[in-house]
Amino acid sequence: MSGNSFGKLFTVTSFGESHGAALGCIVDGCPPGLELSEADLQGDLDRRKPGTSRHTTQRREADEVRILSGVFEGKTTGTPIGLLIENTDQRSKDYSKIATQFRPAHADYTYMHKYGVRDYRGGGRSSARETAMRVAAGGIARKFLHERLGTTIRGYLSQLGPIKIEKFDWAQVHQNPFFCPDVDKVPEMEDYMDALRKSGDSIGARINVVAEGVPPGFGEPIFDRLDADLAHALMSINAVKGVEIGAGFGCIDQKGTDHRDELTPEGFLSNNAGGVLGGISSGQPILASIALKPTSSLRLPGRSIDVDGNPVEVITTGRHDPCVGIRATPIAEAMMAIVLMDHYLRHRGQNGDVKVSTPDIGQA
């Protein structure tokens, strides 16, 4: 009931708080024999970690992951994999002023009603710092899927506030601090974020994630549909307020003749379904998009109440991302990898012997 675990056969259970001693997770269900080291996971963590540019929080965390169990002589053993990241740059005193106050748009108020107590240091368990462990766990899933199936999972920022990309080049995504595939938009984003940071305000963002090389057949057709589990996983990321699969809300003004993805012997003619039909992967690329709200931690005063219900004015000090979406790309990739890994194992367990004569046109 505590809601700290995700998955059925490939499970991830995380623990730790923003300003605690460490963050950690247990990954269970990974098959044996996968070559795995800290280096396999560190690259994704480095993309997510704070302090990588002036546009993100200046908290300085190395986010160096340690593998504590489940790996012997460089390979997974099939037993639970323990992962740990120590916190090294906590400044808990930054939050002493809000120990008895509720920050607007934060989990402070709801955590108090849920548990009767809250860790006010950086949001405690509700902090986006928890997602570091998701990225580490997702790295295991990503490597297994790539080696076993050739699956690649990549994400990018498609919109920062009012700025939408117009061109697309995968090669540009990791050449700038925004994970932006449109090189011409990067200077505009830089200027926008500089002005936003000076004003003390924040902004939202849109992140797209694509998984290619996913075979048809993944997903359970009713309650555990692949797209439903993807929505669950992506919506569980801090600050996410919307999830779309494929055309998403764009299908509202599409006619059926426009939306349907027609099939030919050479392949599908479109992918409005986002690679999922009837809750089951079609073999086409899995397409998902998430909307992240503006950062709630602001140094601009806002109205709220204290723990006794008295009106107060809250100013949040400390180090915060003016746009949490900037660092969300590797998190979204990780959650998609975890879902696909779980469904791979579930499909293999029940339907591994299924053979069909129908060709896989999704990979055409």
Q: What is the 3-state secondary structure (H, E, C) of the chain?
A: CCCCEECCCCEEEEEECCCCCEEEEEEECCCCCCECCHHHHHHHHHHHCCCCCCCCCCCCCCCCEEECCCEECCEECCCCEEEEEECCCCCHHHHHHHCCECCCCCCHHHHHHHHCCCCCHHHHHHCHHHHHHHHHHHHHHHHHHHHHHCCEEEEEEEEECCEECCCCCHHHHHHCCCCCCCHHHHHHHHHHHHHHHHHCCCCCEEEEEEEECCCCCCCCCCCCCHHHHHHHHHHCCCCEEEEEECCHHHHHHCCHHHHCCCEECCEECCCCCCCEECCEECCCCEEEEEEECCCCCCCCCEEEEECCCCEEEECCCCCCCCCHHHHCHHHHHHHHHHHHHHHHHHHHHHHCCCCCCCCCHHHC
pLDDT at 125: 84
pLDDT at 2: 83
> Among positive and negative, which fits the CA dihedral 123, 126, 128, 133?
positive
Position 54 pLDDT exceeds 90: no
Residue range 134-168, pLDDT digits in tens: 999 999 999 999 999 999 999 999 999 999 999 99
**Predicted pLDDT of residue 71:** 98
Q: CB neighbours of 79 closer than 8 A, spacing ≥ 6?
A: 69, 70
Which tokens belong to 150?
A: 């050739």
What confidence score (pLDDT) does residue 93 get? 63
| Predicted pLDDT of residue 241 | 97
Lowest mean pLDDT, pick from 9-23, 207-221, 258-272: 9-23
Rounded average pLDDT over 308-330: 86
The per-residue pLDDT for 48 is 84
| pLDDT value of residue 27 | 98
Whole-angstrom distance, CA of residue 164 vs CA of residue 182: 9
Q: Model confidence over 298-307: pLDDT tens digits?
A: 878 899 999 9
Residue 55 confidence (pLDDT): 65
Degrees, nearest 5: CA angle 171-249-237: 60
- Per-residue confidence (pLDDT) for residue 96, from 0 to 100: 73
Q: Span 197-217, mean pLDDT?
A: 95
Average pLDDT over residues 287-309: 91
Q: How far apart are CA 50 and CA 55, in angstroms?
A: 10
Task: Kindly report the average pLDDT of the chain as a whole number.
Answer: 92
pLDDT at 134: 97
- 């194992």: which residue's tokens? 345
Between residues 50 and 285, the one the model is more confident about: 285
Q: What is the pLDDT of residues 329-364, one digit of tens each?
A: 999 999 999 999 999 999 999 999 999 999 999 986
pLDDT of residue 89: 67
Mean pLDDT of 190-201: 91
Give the model's confidence band at 126: pLDDT under 50 very low, under 70 low, under 90 confident, else very high: confident
pLDDT of residue 319: 60
Residue 1 banded pLDDT, cuts 50, 70, 90: low
Model-level pTM? 0.92
**Residue range 117-138: average pLDDT?**
88
pLDDT of residue 97: 77
Amino acid identity, residue 137? A
Quick one: average pLDDT of 43-69? Answer: 77
Paired with 313 in beta bridges are: 303
Residues sharing a CB contact under 8 Å with residue 337, sequence separation 6 or more, in sequence order: 138, 139, 141, 142, 145, 153, 211
pLDDT at 58: 55
119 — pLDDT class (breaks 50, 70, 90): confident
For residue 50, the model assigns a pLDDT of 63
